[in-house]
Structure 1
Amino acid sequence: MKAKTISISALFLCMPMSLLLAQNTQDTLKGEKKIDEVKIIGNSKKGSESNIITTQKKAVEVIERVGSVQLEKQGIGDVSVAVTKATGSQKQEGSGQIFIRGLGDRNNSTTINGLPIPSNDPMYKNLDLSIIKTDMIDFVGLEKVYQPKLWGDMSGANVDIVTKVYTGKPYFKVNLGSSVNTNAIRKNNFYLQDGPDYFGFKQINRPSNARLATQGYAFSTSWNNKERLTPINSNLGVDFGTNFKIGSQGRLSIFGYGSFDNDYTFVEGTIGSSYNNTGSALKDLYGQEYRYLTNTTGLLNVNYRINPNHSINYSSNYIHTTEQKLGNYSGYIRDVNELLNENQERIEVANLRRALYKTNDLFINQLRGEHKLSDPLKIIWNVGYNRLDSRRPDRQQNISVFNTETGNNYFANSNPGANQRYFDKLIENDYVGDLHAEYNFSDDLKVTLGYSGRMKDSDFRAYQYNFRILQPQGNYYLDPQNYDGFFNLNNYSTGNLFQISTFWGDIKDPQQALKPQYYQSKLFNNAGYANIEYKFNDKFTGQLGLRYDNLDQEITYMTAIFSNGGIINKNYSKLLPSLNLKYAVNDKNNLRFSASKTYTKPLLIELAPYEYEEIDELSFGNVDLNPADNYNVDLKWEWFPNRSEVISVTAFGKYIIDPIARVTVNSSSNSVSFVNTGDSGRVFGVEAEVRKDLYQVNNTRFYTFLNASYINSQQDLNNDKVVAENPNSRVSVDFIKDKDKMQGASDFLANVNLGWEQKWGDKNAFDFVLSYSYISDNIYALGYQTKGNIVDKSINTLDAILKLKFASGLGISFTGRNLINPDYKRVQANDNGDVTVRSFKKGMNYGVGFSYEF
Structure 2
Amino acid sequence: MLKPLGAVSLLLLTSALVAPSLAFAQSAEPSVADSAEPAPEGPASVAADQPEEEEEVDVSFGGEEIVVRGYLDRNISKNAAQVVSVLSSADIERTGEGDIAGALSRVTGLSVVGGGFVYVRGLGDRYSLALLNGSPLPSPEPLKRVVPLDLFPTSVIASSLVQKTYSANFPGEFGGGVINLTTKAIPRETFLSISADASGNSETSNQLGYTYYGSSMDWSGFDNGNRNLAPALAGYLASGQRISAGGVDTKVIAGQLVTGRNAVVQRDNNLPANGSANITGGTNFEIGGDATMGILFNAGYSNKWRTRDTLQQTASTRDLSQKETDFQKVITDNRLVVNGLVGFGIEAGEHKVRWTNLFIRDTLKQARLGIGTRQATSPTATLLQQDTAWYERQLINSQLVGEFKLSSDVNFSFRAGYANSKREAPDELSFEYYRSNQASDPFGAVFINRLNNGQRGSAEVS
User: How high is the TM-score relative to the length of structure 1?
Assistant: 0.40
Q: Which residue is equivalent to 1:284?
A: 326
Q: Is the 8 A contact 2:82 2:163 kept in 1?
A: no
> Distance in 1 between the 2:375 and 2:404 partners?
66
SS of the residue 1:198 aligns to: helix
Correspondence 1:390 to 2:418 = no
> Distance in 2 between the 1:119 and 1:399 partners?
33
Correspondence 1:232 to 2:273 = yes
> Distance in 1 between the 2:213 and 2:72 partners?
50
- Residue 392 of structure 1, CA deviation: 0.5
| Residues 702-736 of structure 1: CA deviation (Å, up to 9, x unaligned) | xxxxxxxxxxxxxxxxxxxxxxxxxxxxxxxxxxx
Q: Which residue is equivalent to 1:326?
A: 367
Matches within 5 A, 1:297-446: 297-308=339-350, 310-333=351-374, 335=376, 337=377, 339=378, 346-406=379-439, 407-409=444-446
Aligned with 2:157 (options 121, 130, 137): 137
User: Letter of the aligned partner of 2:425 in structure 1?
Assistant: R
> Residues 390, 501 of structure 1: CA spacing in aligned structure 2 closer, same or farther, 3 A cutoff?
closer
- Residue 117 of structure 1, CA deviation: 1.1
User: Letter of the aligned partner of 2:280 in structure 1?
Assistant: D
Matches within 5 A, 1:461-480: 469-471=452-454, 473=456
Q: Which residue is equivalent to 1:840?
A: none
> Distance in 2 between the 1:129 and 1:323 partners?
15
- Residue 97 of structure 1, CA deviation: 0.9
> Distance in 2 between the 1:355 and 1:105 partners?
29
Q: Which residue is equivalent to 1:158?
A: 178
Matches within 5 A, 1:149-228: 149-187=169-207, 189-196=208-215, 197-202=218-223, 203=225, 204-208=227-231, 209=233, 213-214=248-249, 215-216=252-253, 217-219=255-257, 220=259, 221-227=261-267
In structure 2, runs of 5+ residues without a counterpart are 1-70, 237-247
> Distance in 1 between the 2:173 and 2:319 partners?
39
> Distance in 2 between the 1:246 and 1:276 partners?
76
User: Letter of the aligned partner of 1:243 in structure 2?
Assistant: N
| Residues 109-168 of structure 1: CA deviation (Å, up to 9, x unaligned) | 111001111112223222221121111121011011111222222222111110000332
| Residues 290-338 of structure 1: CA deviation (Å, up to 9, x unaligned) | 1100000000111211321x21111111111110121212223353x3x
Matches within 5 A, 1:2-17: none
> Residues 183, 275 of structure 1: CA spacing in aligned structure 2 closer, same or farther, 3 A cutoff?
farther
Correspondence 1:295 to 2:342 = no
| Residues 448-471 of structure 1: CA deviation (Å, up to 9, x unaligned) | xxxxxxxxxxxxxxxxxxxx5223
Q: Which residue is equivalent to 1:127?
A: 147
Percent of aligned pairs sharing the same letter:
20
RMSD between aligned residues? 2.8
> Residues 148, 127 of structure 1: CA spacing in aligned structure 2 closer, same or farther, 3 A cutoff?
same
> Residues 63, 222 of structure 1: CA spacing in aligned structure 2 closer, same or farther, 3 A cutoff?
closer
Larger radius of gyration: 2
> Residues 67, 272 of structure 1: CA spacing in aligned structure 2 closer, same or farther, 3 A cutoff?
farther
User: Letter of the aligned partner of 1:347 in structure 2?
Assistant: T
SS of the residue 1:173 aligns to: strand
Matches within 5 A, 1:236-247: 236-247=277-288
User: Letter of the aligned partner of 1:295 in structure 2?
Assistant: V
Aligned with 2:101 (options 52, 60, 80): 80
User: Letter of the aligned partner of 2:110 in structure 1?
Assistant: S
SS of the residue 2:103 aligns to: helix
Count of matched residue pairs: 365
Aligned with 2:91 (options 70, 92, 96): 70
Matches within 5 A, 1:599-614: none
Correspondence 1:100 to 2:120 = yes
Q: Is the 8 A contact 1:211 1:218 kept in 2?
A: no
Q: Is the 8 A contact 1:411 1:469 kept in 2?
A: no
> Distance in 2 between the 1:99 and 1:324 partners?
26
- Residue 275 of structure 1, CA deviation: 6.3
Q: Is the 8 A contact 1:354 1:397 kept in 2?
A: yes
| Residues 25-59 of structure 1: CA deviation (Å, up to 9, x unaligned) | xxxxxxxxxxxxxxxxxxxxxxxxx9996233333
Q: Is the 8 A contact 1:234 1:262 kept in 2?
A: yes
> Distance in 2 between the 1:275 and 1:358 partners?
32
| Greater strand share, structure number | 1
Q: Is the 8 A contact 2:429 2:461 kept in 1?
A: no
Matches within 5 A, 1:663-742: none
> Residues 409, 124 of structure 1: CA spacing in aligned structure 2 closer, same or farther, 3 A cutoff?
farther
- Residue 86 of structure 1, CA deviation: 1.1
> Distance in 1 between the 2:284 and 2:196 partners?
25
- Highest RCO, 1 vs 2 (Cα 8 Å, sep ≥ 6): 1
User: Letter of the aligned partner of 2:305 in structure 1?
Assistant: Y
- Residue 225 of structure 1, CA deviation: 0.8
User: Letter of the aligned partner of 1:367 in structure 2?
Assistant: L
SS of the residue 1:182 aligns to: coil
> Distance in 2 between the 1:262 and 1:71 partners?
21
Aligned with 1:254 (options 295, 298, 303): 295
> Distance in 2 between the 1:185 and 1:97 partners?
27
Q: Which residue is equivalent to 1:728?
A: none
User: Letter of the aligned partner of 2:144 in structure 1?
Assistant: Y
Q: Is the 8 A contact 1:326 1:356 kept in 2?
A: yes
- Residue 272 of structure 1, CA deviation: 5.9
Q: Is the 8 A contact 2:280 2:299 kept in 1?
A: yes
> Distance in 2 between the 1:380 and 1:333 partners?
64
SS of the residue 1:76 aligns to: coil
> Residues 210, 238 of structure 1: CA spacing in aligned structure 2 closer, same or farther, 3 A cutoff?
closer
Q: Is the 8 A contact 1:360 1:388 kept in 2?
A: yes
- Residue 63 of structure 1, CA deviation: 2.6
Matches within 5 A, 1:444-523: 469-471=452-454, 473=456
In structure 1, runs of 5+ residues without a counterpart are 1-49, 340-345, 414-467, 488-499, 503-854
User: Letter of the aligned partner of 2:296 in structure 1?
Assistant: F
> Residues 123, 72 of structure 1: CA spacing in aligned structure 2 closer, same or farther, 3 A cutoff?
same
Q: Is the 8 A contact 1:82 1:140 kept in 2?
A: no
SS of the residue 2:200 aligns to: strand
Q: Is the 8 A contact 2:313 2:323 kept in 1?
A: no
User: How high is the TM-score relative to the length of structure 2?
Assistant: 0.72
User: Letter of the aligned partner of 2:333 in structure 1?
Assistant: R
